[in-house]
Amino acid sequence: MRSGERINDRYRIEQQIGSGGMANVYRAHDEILNRTVAIKVLRSEFSHNEQFIRRFEREAHAATSLNHPNIVAIYDVGDEEDLYYIVMEHVDGVTLKQYLQEEYISVDEALRIMGQICDAIDHAHANRIIHRDIKPQNMMIDQHGNVKVTDFGIAVAMSNATLTHTMSVLGSVHYFSPEQARGKFADEKSDIYSLGAVLYELLTGRVPFIGETPVAVALQHLQDDPIRPMDLNPNVPQPLENCVMQALAKSPGSRHVSVAAFKKDCMTALSRERANEPKRLPVNQEEFDQTLVMTPVVAEEKPDTPAPSSPLPVSTEQETKEPVKKKKHKWWIWILLIIVLIGGSIAAYMVADEMSRAVVPDVVGMSIGDATSELENEGFVVEVTERASDDVKEGEVISQNPQEGRKPKQGTTVTIVVSAGKETVEMPNVEGLSQSAAERMLKDLAFSDLEIKTEASETVDSGDVISQSLDPGEEVVPSEVTVTLVVSTGSNKVELSNLAGYTFDEASTYADQNKLKIVRRDEFSTSVPKGQIIRQLPTAGTAVDPGTELTVIVSEGVEPTDVSIEREVNVEVEQPDEDEQPKAVEVVIRTVDARGEIEVLRDNITETTTYSYTLVIAPDEVGTATIEVDGEIVRTDSVTYAQAKEAQ
């Protein structure tokens, strides 16, 4: 179906969001109720199978009776022009299979998810609906982490399809129960087996059985035991492993009595009361998997027909019947001969079969070379997989499948899991992160030995990581290394205050507080009172490191040889006629004398004003005053040292 097409003049197709062996799934908009829905449309190759269609409709309608927060709600079921569809709740999220591939699942998180799945399946069983196709692909995780189970109706209908219709039936074989793999009737116990397979994957990150073909996987469901979860994930406690292995029992009678019992077993696995629970031994129900050879039943001879102990005389009538008795006796001989031949053949077959089998030795803990040699000497094919382990030395066998003591045929593949040593991780780059974020990231990766050092930095903000002791990308074993982080305390530079007008004692206190070295220089000044700081080096506002030398120039007052002279000047302002607005002018007076160039005055006036100013003149020097009006020099006064002395 294409975007924009409508179903039942109500549901507008927006986008295909899924595809399976039986149906395609589309996101659509319900134009009547103005909501987003998901529509599962039966593939066209099934639309002409009347028996399948009736079963599909019956089960799809039955699914509408399920009302549970962990089950995808069914809104509508219909058909039009050989188009069969189910309208259901749209879940904004991903399948549990995708979630497993993208997220790390802790044991607590696995139990939280499994609890919701069990609630959904238990509700379905209470309504007489068996799912029959429980798998992570049929479960959705929404944006809030809630689980929604789907595909109830289709899953039951699929049990009526043949394998030639679609390979999707075999596609779920990783979660099939042994009875489903045999083609037998599936019931609540079959769903419990599938729940156990899903929990196994949540805890270990892999399905219970792995094979090159679906048939190979199905045979493992019938014949083999999965690798125990604790061998794949050491964080799985023994009580929880017991729960998983019981749910995966070959015989339905050995599994939990109900989904509720399975959930209770899961949810109490972490309790203190079960902390020391031993490994739960499987119930012996070999009859589920084996064909029994029974002793042939032979008819007993009648007690009133005693065996003759000695020859007896016979009558003529007996002589007449003698050939008949001999013929009957020969018939029984042939029967016995046939039985003996069949029994011998069976015995020969059993002997040959027994001779073709070998006991699997215990190779756990051996080196990979020794384990391989011992298994091959017994006639087995060895397949090696590696897994990191903190407890088992590199190159030694962690686990094996089949387990020791089993007696499969020679030539059977024995899979051994060999330790790759302690698990290494890639050292992350935490430079530039805050100290708390860096520590959290490293602890999540199992780095436990962290050392923090501090250092001032002009470029890295306070509290952020400046550098790390291990290079990013380096492969390391977290438990065997110490990671040193250098964290910034920020800049330790001091921004100098303006010390002009301070006394030297006050400046010294300031320097001590900021860890600066203070140097004093004295200088005559006609403008700064004696004992006060005239200026400083470096200048105010400069950022300096602790220990920097701060030079302050302290006034000694007016130099004794200098002569001060006070002068007056009148600045005239010509105004326009009286009826016009008075005109303001700007007056600036500057002096150049022993003090240097100084702007003495800057003022705005509207009438003639008299100003006074002082010149400080050194010997053999001249003091000059310049008067500007609106930017133009209108007067310049110059006074020599001799003139100033005479005026005193």
Cα 30-31-36 angle, rounded to 5 deg: 35
Which amino acid, residue 14? E
**Higher-pLDDT residue of 191, 405:** 191
Produce one character per residue of 34-59: b if its CB has 16 or more CB atoms within 10 Å, e if not. eeebbbbbbbeebbebeebbebbbeb
* 348 band by pLDDT with thresholds 50, 70 and 90: low
User: Is the pLDDT confidence value at 315 over 50?
Assistant: no
Fold of the 563-647 domain? Immunoglobulin-like (2.60.40)
User: Is the pLDDT confidence value at 252 over 80?
Assistant: yes
Q: Which CATH architecture describes the domain 425-488?
A: 2-Layer Sandwich (3.30)
For 6-89, which CATH class? Answer: alpha beta
Give pLDDT, residue 352: 59
User: Is the pLDDT confidence value at 57 over 90?
Assistant: no
- The full set of domain ranges for the chain reads 6-89, 425-488, 494-555, 563-647
Token digits of residue 508: 């010294």
Mean pLDDT score of the chain:
82
Region 89-107: mean pLDDT is: 85
Q: pLDDT tens digits, residue range 563-590?
A: 888 899 898 888 777 777 788 899 999 9
Taking the C-alpha atoms of residue 544 and residue 112, their distance in angstroms, rounded to an integer, is: 58
Q: Is the pTM of this model over 0.75?
A: no
Sign (positive or negative) of CA dihedral 307, 313, 314, 319 = positive
Taking the C-alpha atoms of residue 167 and residue 213, their distance in angstroms, rounded to an integer, is: 12
Asked if the domains 425-488 and 494-555 are classified in one and the same CATH topology, the answer is yes
Token digits of residue 408: 């499969």
User: Which residue intervals of 268-381 are DSSP H helices?
Assistant: 316-355, 368-377
Q: Which three-class secondary structure state does DSSP give residue 377?
A: helix
Under DSSP, the state recorded for 325 is H
Report helix angle 107-126 to 188-204, nearest 10.
170
Q: pLDDT tens digits, residue range 445-470?
A: 889 899 999 988 878 888 899 999 99
Fold of the 494-555 domain? Trypsin Inhibitor V; Chain A (3.30.10)
From the list 119, 133, 151, 562, the catalytic residue is 133
Is 187 a known active-site residue?
Answer: no
**Higher-pLDDT residue of 523, 160:** 523
